[in-house]
Structure 1
Amino acid sequence: MTAWEFTTKSSVGRLTANASFFCRVATHRMAGPSVHSRSASMAVYRSRFQWTKAACSLIPLTVRSSLTNTSEDIPHTDWTDSFPMWHGNTIYFTSDRGPEHHLNLYSYDVSSKQVEQLTHYAEWDVMWPSLGPDAVIFENAGYLYTYDFQSKQPKKVTIELPADRPAALKHWDNVGRLATDFDIAPDGKRAVFSARGDVFTVPAKEGSVRNVTRTPGIREQKVSWSPDGRWIAYVSDRTGEDEIYISPQDGLGKEQQITSGYKGFKFAPVWSPDSKKIAWGDKDINLWWIDITEKKPVKVDHDDYAEITNYNWSPDSKWLAYDKQSENNYAVVYLYSLPDQKSTAVTSSLNNSYDAVFDPEGKYLYFLSDRDFNEVLGNVDFEFANPKTTRVYIVTLKKDEQSPLGVQSDETEIKSKEPSPMIMDQDVATDPKGKKASKNDKNASEDDKDKGKDKDKDKDKKEKPVEVKIDLDGIQSRVVALPTDPAVIRTFAAGKGFLYYSTVAAQGLDGPLPGESTAVHAYDLKDRKEKTLIEGVERFALSFDGSKLLYEGEGGNPRAAHTYGIIDAKPAGEAKKVGDGVLSLNGMRAEIDPPQEWKNVFNEVWRQERDYFYEAEMNGVDWQKMHDKYAQLLPAVSDRYSLTYILGEMIGELSNSHTYVGGGDYPDLHPVNVGLLGVDYELDESSGRYRIKKIYPGENWNAELRSPLTEPGINVKEGDYLLAVNGQQLRAPQDPYQAFVNTGNETVTLTVNSKPSEDSSRNVVVKPINDEYNLRELNMINTNRKKVDDATGGKVGYVYLPDMGSPGLNEFVKQYFPQLRKQGLIIDIRYNGGGFVDELIFERLRRILAGMGSARNWQSGTVPSNVFNGPMVCLTNHYAASDGDLFSYMFKYYKLGPLIGERTWGGVRGIRGEFPLMDGGYITRPEFARYDLTSQWIVENRGVQPDIVVTNRPEQVVSGKDPQLDRAIEEVMKGIQANPKQLPPRPPALPPYPAGPS
């Protein structure tokens, strides 16, 4: 019986006759589902990864004989072959190799080796074929068809299946866990959230949760509460495109559409303090503002490099502060005058400055900037990093305004109101009651009246709105820094007399560095002191009056609601914790109409690709036609799984890499783990007991590479029998893995023995792991390194990079530097999962020896440090993907050595973070493309052709052979022999300097 193990690196396997035990059958590391011939002596399989309608599918269908230990590929093109099915002497499969370039049904005659196209669908793919005794049944355009082997014609199958479609029924749900953005009421008494397409307000203490919009199937998001408390602004797709709307905050009035006529995504609307205007950015990297009464948008600026997403109003609503990116990738802060319709740079492009906000009193502009450079040097390599560069900076808006951080001076207060005797003159006398007064009492009385009037004037002056005056001339020279430590700052806001900012720990690729925590800080400009306001918070919103702060605390479960709370903005006493002032989101209930929601998700996915795909021409695809084509299937969707399938098919029409679909409103499943020991089992047929065939050693000092049976004191060895788990006997036909269900990282008692009996057995206590892939990969690395070491007499090093992310960079550091003094180097990126760090690796690989450094008692070292001074080769294959593609390409481009193996995957269009869909799902948008110095697109849909093509056949892999690695050893040794590179020796000591002239 055939089985397929879907792990990080899958494999084809077989089940024993009684279907009790899965045994891996070595094919290749990315093997997908397999089918056998009737005699079970032959199998056909393909990779589990495939392209859709892209002329770069490199993986053929492979037929392997277990009798002769040979394999052959079904004749293959650069298109996709899938779904192999074996019937008699014929293998049926789907392929888009035909002129239609859609998946159709094909046959392959095992004897004649001929391929024949059987169907000719030009609009829809043949999907999910399944073999019957005399026909293949498949799906096309949402309908079932059979292909009869006798008539050789497809026939539509009509099925009437009454169904309740429970997943499509209307229902009510608590949507708090899907909150995507938030804001706080101007007085801090309520918070506003967008969740699952609706807008809710939640009371700080008393009152009920209000659903302001109540629009099933329409998505409102990016909420903002007006400073006067009356309105809530948000972005809605009611019209089919993103437009800005406002609704009364109590949900009782009529919604108003503010913008119209623009096709594209909008970023969060921001209210002006007078509650009459709104600013926003758009996907076309423009910044706009609009009067909510006149509804005529005004364009503020355009950025040539990135979206404008940071923009804030002056307290008099006459200025906008924003930042946009300059040519050197540094952001520059600008001030835009609404009356003058003119922008002025406040900062220089010599510094990265952003997130500008106005002082509520209109005296200052605050912003973040990366200007602190206390570089950190690496312990392994002589390289620097700058993890903490950011502080808050202040610019005075008027030339004669003193900085809030200006010079302070303690002065003595004069308590007596009487004039000093030293300055009395003839006009000052003593009245009959002994009081000193002017000779002219009438004038004194009038002066008192004038003072009273002045006090009234002062009162009137305080009640007048702030008018912001800005001296633009010389403004860049009036910048000062807040006297705090540089940090990693996330959220920033300004209140009257206080600045608020969240800081997080410096980030490594694997997460935050230990020893630091996330917190919101309040800086008191009067006392000039920083205080921690609340710990464990990164995102927050400050109320317009500056009295309250709404925070978001991370939830432990990604599908659970975050914790939100409202606290006083003025620090007092100990720092707050997440949970203080907590808000109850239990009342955030919305009516869910799944078919309408699915339609919304479908349309947004289509719009996301339309607006963010790397080129507007959409790879030549008529994108509106694709929308209309796949929208026909929406009425047949009965659950989120079906919708996800349609979304994947639609974006697959782009014939582009990195078009992924995931997430959404699925039932909450609670999978259990299976504890693993890091071993291979084999069945002793005679006793029905399981024997430990191989133990994969790890690095037990590393939690990611812990091997349970090799830990100190366990003393279990290869060849021992596993007799029982937690006292439960283990015998065939029970699968050994079944005994470890839900035991990952839990204490387990194993009964083991050197023979298949209880006699003299012993118990050991271990803690199984949840995933043993890392152990198996480590075994592969060590096996290959030993092979290279043995074959070259220790002259050649071996470095394996599993991806171009954190694991790959960590492995590079771990493996590369200890092997620097080898004479040659093999870099293996086969099966590389991609990422983004290839540039960092090439910074090291491309170093050129320029000289040597020496000291009296030390061995000489290279200049620059850590230079590899010998020939290199790089191994690649079909599964080197994304940044693995680019590494292969750049290795050839830099001429570091021969590239050996097979053509790479061929997908290099880059993506960034997802925009969550209404129900929490996501897709990816290929936004970033690569081209060369001759302005030609590179790699995508073509891959990288190696300099030396070598293929590892399945039968060679089964026999433990690796022709690709063998060729790499051969080539690097040729390089060593042809041009041996030794480090130059230390020169002889200098002779005495000649004596000077007499």
Structure 2
Amino acid sequence: MRRLFSAAAFLPDPSSMQLSTLSKAVTLALSLTAGIAAGPTLAQQAVTTTTAATGAKAPAQAAAMLLRDPAVSARNLAFVYGGDLWIANRDGSQPRRLTSHAAAEFSPRFSPDGQWIAYSASYDGNTDVYVIPAGGGQPRRLTWHPAADQVTGWSPDGKRVLFASSREVLNNRSNQLFEVPADGGYEQKVMEAVAYEGVWSPDGTRLAYRPYRQAYNGSSGWRQSRGGTTPPIWIIDPKGKTWEQIPHVNATDSNPIWMGDEVVFISDRNDGAANLFAFNTKTKALRQLTKETVWDIRGADGRDGRIVYEAGGQLKEVGLDGSPARVLSIALNEPSNQAREQWKDASKTIENASLSATGKRVVISARGEIFTVPVKDGVVRNLTRTSGVREKDGVWSPDGQQVAYLSDEPGMRHQVVIRDQLGDEAAGKPTRKILLPEVGYFSLLDWSPDGARLVLQDNHLNLFQLPLTGPQSGKLTRIDTSERRAGFDTSFSPDGRFLAYTVAGKNFFSQIRVIDFQTGQQHTLTDGQSHAGQPVFSTKGDVLFFAASINSGPAQVGLDMSTQERAVRMGLYAAVLRADGKSPLAPKAGDEDGKDAKDKKDDEKKDADKAGKADGAAKDGKDEKDGKDAKADKKDDAKDAKPKVKPVRIDFAGIQDRIVGLPVATARYGALGVADDGALFYLEYRQPGVSIEPNGGEGNKGELYRFDFEEKKAKLVKPQVQNYSLSADGKKILLNLGGGRLEISDAREKIDTKSIDLSGLKTRIDPRAEWKQIFDETWWMEKEYFYDPKLHGLDWNGIYQRYAPLVAGVQRREDLNDLLVEMIGELQVGHNRIGGGDVHQEPRVPVGLLGADFSFENGKYRIKRIFKGDRWDPYLKAPLNAPGVGVKEGEYLLAVNGQPVDGTRNLYQQLENTVGKQVQLTVSANANGQGARQVTVEPTGNEGRLRQWAWIDHNRQEVDRLSGGKIAYVYMPDTAGSGFQHFNRMFFAQVDKTGLIVDDRRNGGGQAANYVTELLNRAYLGSWKDRDGLIYDTPAGAIYGPKAMLIDQDAGSGGDFMPYAFKRTGLGPLIGKRTWGGLIGISANPGLIDGGYLVVPFFRFFTPEGEWRIENEGVAPDIDVDLDPVAVNQGRDVQLEAAVANVQERLKTWKPIQRTTAPAMPTQVGK
């Protein structure tokens, strides 16, 4: 195969499959509750408005769609439209824009007197709290902390803004409530208990709040979630010792609004659309206020007995008195800056790239267009120019004169397009289009060297050929079907007669097969006893190179945590294709070849002349000229690209006995390719678990090697290469260095790379056309990739008809994400997410953090707590705990870089642009500055891991204290790499203890934690007596005593499976709250045209009994314990206390199974 460089693989290797509830980077706008959808008839609605200035009737305008985040005062209504804040009269009349910044603005809330609006915005690349006069004016910033701060309300006296933030939580996946003075200053934490949103009672003594996140949030579309992450509304006196729960069923309650004696909230408890309910705090009566049946209510606010809410993209108003809801028709005729046509840099969204026949140009698929880019001279050509159509997978014809690619122009199905490489400049050259089957999402892999066929694969594990000549021309034919989702590695023989490819078998190993297109016969080259891949024919077609492993079995199924840090050792092999062929490693005879020195010099001169002509053509860039020069050069190119190729012959009988190994170390190899001189290029990757980079990753780039068959050894060519491809003639090599950097060089032992200029890779985008394409492709990929072809019986066509009209209401890319989250949520499953894309992002201003908690006392910031970090993690820095700094808890921070720190300015405002830089702090034991001193520190950009480790280590010490040193404590933040490391670090260090508590709370998932349960279920097999010291057991690392696992609603995915497995294997009870409930995972589909991501669940868990379980159910605890907020405010963890008490009680009756002493020594020889 002439390999394509690919920025993202079409199909994942099984080793990459993971279960996770942690999304990729999600846009700030998506992380907040927001209205998303509107009814299909909104586009036809029209209203008549009256202008404020003249009172004259304006022309009828369509009612605006996709209005979000309503907020109300006594006189006004505020809402978000197109990412901006708007204000109108309470009835929706006279709407006017308050803000017009390109950054996202959301969560508006009026002050009690209606004079101010507090809201959240990401003006500096971070979500912070702002206030703006309700009559318009300049926004005033109130917070600067780098954590996201989301406005939820005001204090009843209007002096403080209430917001939710994760800035001081001691573990992830939670928020707490804070207040900041409306005039600016120090942010005060309301309470230690976690809370995602809240609102004060009218007298300011109690809070109605949602204690934890909901399953349906941000980028996650999941209507009617019925797992553990179905939050209630709690009411608490933060200063007292009482709290109550509004009557709750297994449903999601959110968005509390305190109105008199009643708390109004949104709930989906009736198994239909989410509606408004009201709870009377005195009578404890609960009643339903609205009767929405189609669209969920997504946001609401109320005052003076009236509530405005958002449903279906409209704003509606309903009364507490039970009066019916009415639509507030709001006409907005404002242009959208994001919707105007504009030029975009396509180099940021490169999907794949490959070299032309002689390496003079690169075909690049990016932003849904097909480009050809000169490696040096010439112009960038956009061959497609079809905004709103996705073209992808561009490949060159073997002579370099045409480009083939896939297009979704027919509408939610693919067609192959073959066109001249000059694009529109090739006058009179017909473009060929071949429609592919309606079922399947296709990927174009390669074009045969003889030009006779294309090779494609689909997402349903099929490999196809598409003949371009002969009687079968244009008819797609299946070559083979894989039994596992592993993708296909392919390589054509030089004459195009044979195709070598990989196919995954039942044992998870891939084998190499070869199809003969002349006879149609298929042959299996390898025996299935090794995991083989990356086949590539030699330039002469006499050898097939490939990589294979015989130790990869334990690492083959990456969904299992037991594959973590499993080194896969591969060898490089050569299969001699002809029975009379010789090994490429065969000894040389050392005889004369019959040529004298003069003949050799003549041959060398001819080779040099040929090389010079080729180089000259590349320098002049003549192949890129128009008209006659271009045609002439195309003939020259064709001549150069079509040397006479000898027919390839393969003798399949006995071929497995003609496989020889190359003399290279067994390592992790990939991306094999053969240059024109016969040398073998390949990438060697770092083995997992060998080392960790300072950024916390292992690094995914490889080192490029070249094996020379004359010298019979490999040499390093270039480090830090992500991927590469070779030109069809094998003379040029294209290197992908990552980050959109491409370099080219001659494919020789010593490469001299030159950067390829991608500055011209730009395309004009019609956003509305592109948004429609993204909508359609999202719907299409859900249909093609969802694990159940029938989508659980959902009328997916009907869903399209309901949501498609709303695309016309999209004003910015973020709106489209909101709409798509709503649409995919109709499937009512987890791990179904969408986000990112060409959303607006302001440059982030990094804000430094000192790794400390502060209080505000005596008009100064006082250091309440210093986080000390982890002495065994060299990359976890604690700024105030570094040796030599000497800052103590209780001291005052008086100045930053000489600027006073007091209540007039926010502390974090003074720490802007200080991350990783030396900062001078002035500290003192007294607020008056007596004895002040200066210290120099380097602030960090994120305290999350500092706080988490402090929480983990505190829990370990608390368990040790409460149990008298008998019980071990192990925390697992996820079931992927971090969880694997945490488990190994904490478990084996405590195997001298008798009992065990494994903490799964807030576990972010990753893999199926079979490693943990298998290790904890180890059977005691015996012990060993050394002459000196203690005896030791086999297995050596084990705790055999009573065990328990802590779980909660924030643990999910792999964090669901681990407690399921813990309970099923009888390890011990589960204590806490029901888990998230998401064991349908996670994604095999490609991303979206503008770089956005879509996660379509394509596999699902079922039990040994053949039951679909855990998904949308969660794992229930054996002992149900709420994380009591009053206890949390007092510094207690009642769930942890319950687990310790449970294990302690069982230890009283537990009898050790392993020996603690050796038997008496033998007294007879031979015994």
Alignment map for 1:148-167 (pairs within 5 Å): 148-150=319-321, 152-167=323-338
Task: Indicate the residue corresponding to 1:20 in structure 2.
Answer: 185
Tell me the amino acid that sits aligned with residue 707 of structure 1. Answer: A
My pick for the range that moved more, 586-595 or 524-533, is 524-533
Counterpart-to-counterpart distance in 2, 1:879 and 1:510: 30
Going from structure 1 to structure 2, the CA distance change for 1:962 and 1:308 (only over 3 Å counts) comes to closer
Task: Indicate the residue corresponding to 2:758 in structure 1.
Answer: 585
CA contact (8 A) 2:781 2:1085 kept: no
Q: Indicate the SS of the match to 2:1100.
A: coil
CA contact (8 A) 1:173 1:591 kept: yes
Tell me the amino acid that sits aligned with residue 263 of structure 2. Answer: I
My pick for the range that moved more, 880-889 or 532-541, is 532-541
Q: CA deviation at 1:613?
A: 1.1
Task: Indicate the residue corresponding to 1:74 in structure 2.
Answer: 246
Q: CA deviation at 1:49?
A: 2.8
Does residue 287 of the first structure (1) align with residue 463 of the second (2)? yes
Does residue 278 of the first structure (1) align with residue 454 of the second (2)? yes
Q: Indicate the SS of the match to 2:1148.
A: helix
Q: Indicate the SS of the match to 1:819.
A: coil
Going from structure 1 to structure 2, the CA distance change for 1:761 and 1:803 (only over 3 Å counts) comes to same
Counterpart-to-counterpart distance in 1, 2:548 and 2:714: 18
Tell me the amino acid that sits aligned with residue 951 of structure 1. Answer: D
Going from structure 1 to structure 2, the CA distance change for 1:748 and 1:331 (only over 3 Å counts) comes to same
Q: Indicate the SS of the match to 1:642.
A: helix
Going from structure 1 to structure 2, the CA distance change for 1:772 and 1:919 (only over 3 Å counts) comes to same
Going from structure 1 to structure 2, the CA distance change for 1:662 and 1:569 (only over 3 Å counts) comes to same
CA contact (8 A) 1:315 1:360 kept: yes
Deviations 1:354-386 (A, max 9, x none): 12122232211121211478999xxxx999965
Does residue 268 of the first structure (1) align with residue 444 of the second (2)? yes
CA contact (8 A) 1:382 1:865 kept: no
Which structure: larger Rg? 1
Tell me the amino acid that sits aligned with residue 838 of structure 1. Answer: A
Tell me the amino acid that sits aligned with residue 782 of structure 2. Answer: E
Q: Which has the higher contact order (CA 8 A, sep 6+)?
A: 2
Counterpart-to-counterpart distance in 2, 1:312 and 1:564: 23
My pick for the range that moved more, 397-406 or 462-471, is 462-471
My pick for the range that moved more, 5-14 or 339-348, is 5-14
Task: Indicate the residue corresponding to 1:877 in structure 2.
Answer: 1048
Deviations 1:897-918 (A, max 9, x none): 1111111111111214662211
Task: Indicate the residue corresponding to 2:98 in structure 1.
Answer: none
My pick for the range that moved more, 10-19 or 106-115, is 10-19
Q: Indicate the SS of the match to 1:705.
A: coil
Q: Indicate the SS of the match to 1:779.
A: helix
Q: CA deviation at 1:994?
A: 8.6
CA contact (8 A) 2:1084 2:1096 kept: no
Does residue 536 of the first structure (1) align with residue 720 of the second (2)? yes
Aligned counterpart for 1:309 among listed residues 477, 484, 488:
488
Q: CA deviation at 1:740?
A: 1.5
Task: Indicate the residue corresponding to 1:827 in structure 2.
Answer: 998
CA contact (8 A) 1:244 1:269 kept: no
Q: CA deviation at 1:973?
A: 1.4
Does residue 500 of the first structure (1) align with residue 681 of the second (2)? yes
Tell me the amino acid that sits aligned with residue 570 of structure 1. Answer: R
Counterpart-to-counterpart distance in 2, 1:79 and 1:591: 46
Task: Indicate the residue corresponding to 1:44 in structure 2.
Answer: 208
CA contact (8 A) 1:356 1:365 kept: yes
CA contact (8 A) 1:875 1:900 kept: yes
CA contact (8 A) 1:902 1:945 kept: yes
Tell me the amino acid that sits aligned with residue 248 of structure 2. Answer: H
Q: CA deviation at 1:166?
A: 1.0
Alignment map for 1:457-536 (pairs within 5 Å): 464-496=644-676, 497-508=678-689, 518-536=702-720
CA contact (8 A) 2:178 2:188 kept: yes
Going from structure 1 to structure 2, the CA distance change for 1:259 and 1:407 (only over 3 Å counts) comes to farther
Does residue 183 of the first structure (1) align with residue 354 of the second (2)? yes
Tell me the amino acid that sits aligned with residue 289 of structure 1. Answer: Q
Counterpart-to-counterpart distance in 2, 1:315 and 1:415: 28
Q: Indicate the SS of the match to 2:770.
A: helix
CA contact (8 A) 1:11 1:25 kept: no
Q: CA deviation at 1:463?
A: 6.8
CA contact (8 A) 1:509 1:806 kept: no
Task: Indicate the residue corresponding to 1:836 in structure 2.
Answer: 1007
CA contact (8 A) 1:267 1:309 kept: no
Task: Indicate the residue corresponding to 1:4 in structure 2.
Answer: 164
Alignment map for 1:364-379 (pairs within 5 Å): 364-371=543-550
Going from structure 1 to structure 2, the CA distance change for 1:33 and 1:285 (only over 3 Å counts) comes to same
Going from structure 1 to structure 2, the CA distance change for 1:192 and 1:415 (only over 3 Å counts) comes to closer
Task: Indicate the residue corresponding to 1:299 in structure 2.
Answer: 478
Counterpart-to-counterpart distance in 2, 1:740 and 1:197: 42
Alignment map for 1:798-877 (pairs within 5 Å): 798-836=969-1007, 838-877=1009-1048
Q: Indicate the SS of the match to 2:722.
A: strand
CA contact (8 A) 1:914 1:922 kept: no
Aligned counterpart for 1:969 among listed residues 1126, 1131, 1140:
1140
My pick for the range that moved more, 10-19 or 130-139, is 10-19
Aligned counterpart for 2:882 among listed residues 693, 696, 711:
711
Q: CA deviation at 1:992?
A: 2.0
Task: Indicate the residue corresponding to 2:1162 in structure 1.
Answer: 990
CA contact (8 A) 1:353 1:370 kept: yes
Deviations 1:396-419 (A, max 9, x none): 1111111111233334678999xx
How many residue pairs match? The answer is 932
Q: CA deviation at 1:706?
A: 2.2
Aligned counterpart for 1:217 among listed residues 385, 388, 399:
388
My pick for the range that moved more, 772-781 or 654-663, is 772-781
Q: CA deviation at 1:791?
A: 1.7
Q: CA deviation at 1:350?
A: 0.7
Tell me the amino acid that sits aligned with residue 262 of structure 1. Answer: E
Counterpart-to-counterpart distance in 2, 1:273 and 1:36: 72
Aligned counterpart for 1:33 among listed residues 197, 214, 222:
197
Aligned counterpart for 1:925 among listed residues 1096, 1111, 1114:
1096
- Aligned identity (percent) is 33
Counterpart-to-counterpart distance in 1, 2:1045 and 2:307: 44
Aligned counterpart for 2:775 among listed residues 602, 610, 614:
602
Going from structure 1 to structure 2, the CA distance change for 1:409 and 1:97 (only over 3 Å counts) comes to same
Alignment map for 1:898-937 (pairs within 5 Å): 898-912=1069-1083, 915-937=1086-1108
Q: CA deviation at 1:309?
A: 2.4
Does residue 331 of the first structure (1) align with residue 510 of the second (2)? yes
For structure 2, the residue ranges without an aligned partner over 5 or more in a row are 1-154, 156-161, 217-222, 556-560, 598-641
Aligned counterpart for 2:570 among listed residues 375, 390, 395:
390
Q: CA deviation at 1:723?
A: 0.9
Counterpart-to-counterpart distance in 2, 1:141 and 1:374: 51
Task: Indicate the residue corresponding to 1:440 in structure 2.
Answer: none
Tell me the amino acid that sits aligned with residue 614 of structure 1. Answer: Y
Going from structure 1 to structure 2, the CA distance change for 1:959 and 1:372 (only over 3 Å counts) comes to closer
My pick for the range that moved more, 643-652 or 228-237, is 228-237
CA contact (8 A) 1:504 1:517 kept: yes
Counterpart-to-counterpart distance in 1, 2:920 and 2:1155: 55
Which TM-score applies when normalising by structure 1? 0.90
Q: CA deviation at 1:514?
A: 8.0
Aligned counterpart for 1:683 among listed residues 856, 877, 889:
856
Q: Indicate the SS of the match to 1:645.
A: helix
Q: Indicate the SS of the match to 1:120.
A: coil
Q: CA deviation at 1:250?
A: 0.8
Task: Indicate the residue corresponding to 2:88 in structure 1.
Answer: none
Deviations 1:801-860 (A, max 9, x none): 121122222211221111001011111111111111612222321212110011111311
CA contact (8 A) 1:178 1:919 kept: yes
For structure 1, the residue ranges without an aligned partner over 5 or more in a row are 418-461, 556-561
Task: Indicate the residue corresponding to 1:63 in structure 2.
Answer: 235
CA contact (8 A) 1:700 1:706 kept: no
Does residue 361 of the first structure (1) align with residue 505 of the second (2)? no
Counterpart-to-counterpart distance in 1, 2:884 and 2:714: 52
Instruction: Note the aligned Cα RMSD (angstroms).
Output: 2.5
Q: CA deviation at 1:182?
A: 0.7
My pick for the range that moved more, 499-508 or 167-176, is 499-508
Which TM-score applies when normalising by structure 2? 0.77
Q: CA deviation at 1:488?
A: 2.2
Task: Indicate the residue corresponding to 2:745 in structure 1.
Answer: 567
CA contact (8 A) 1:234 1:268 kept: yes
Aligned counterpart for 1:137 among listed residues 286, 308, 317:
308
Tell me the amino acid that sits aligned with residue 118 of structure 1. Answer: L
